[in-house]
Structure 1
């Protein structure tokens, strides 16, 4: 019997460029849960407690905001992204 370990994206998010590309691709998905899951993976890679403190939210609140199906406020998402040293940018779709 073949055994597999569960894939954890956080294990591969080890530099800023990879993280930025990961989030950019996730943001393109029409399902908002994909973007929340991507932010959560980045937060796990950086340390949830550290990210929560830097964003000025509690660790539990951070987990709750990034849970699939959550509807976090734009302000909360911005705080989390800033705490990760990231900002959103936009491009024209052709």
Structure 2
């Protein structure tokens, strides 16, 4: 006689990774933005999203206030569909306490 056993179904719960929850210090925030600028310097949308990640880590309402923008326009500008002006990027960077920097690129790179 064969004994049958029922296996209990285990459901796994998945969640979306939110990098903003892991950006705790100004140094971590600057390093995160610097990595985007270094690894994907031509990905304007990705860099804007990185600024958005940092803004969420610091508190979107306070960053918007410090940048002189409404909270809604800041969310929109730094979303995946956003296309912030360079002036907005500079205002947000200043409000975040980070600075964009230039670096010479070797010819042929």
- TM-score when normalising by structure 2: 0.79
- Point out where structure 1 has 5 or more consecutive residues left out of the alignment: none
Bigger radius of gyration: 2
* 2:24 is the counterpart of 1:14: yes
Q: Of residues 69, 75, 91 in structure 2, which corresponds to 1:57? A: 69
Listed as ranges, the gaps of 5+ residues in structure 2 are 1-10
Structure that is richer in helix per residue: 1
Q: Which runs of 4+ in 1 moved over 3 A?
A: none
When the two chains are superposed, the root-mean-square deviation of aligned CA atoms in Å is: 1.2
Matched, 1:91 2:109: no
Count of paired positions? 94
TM normalised by structure 1 equals 0.91
1:34 to 31, 46, 50: 46
CA separation in 2, counterparts of 1:51 and 1:90? 24
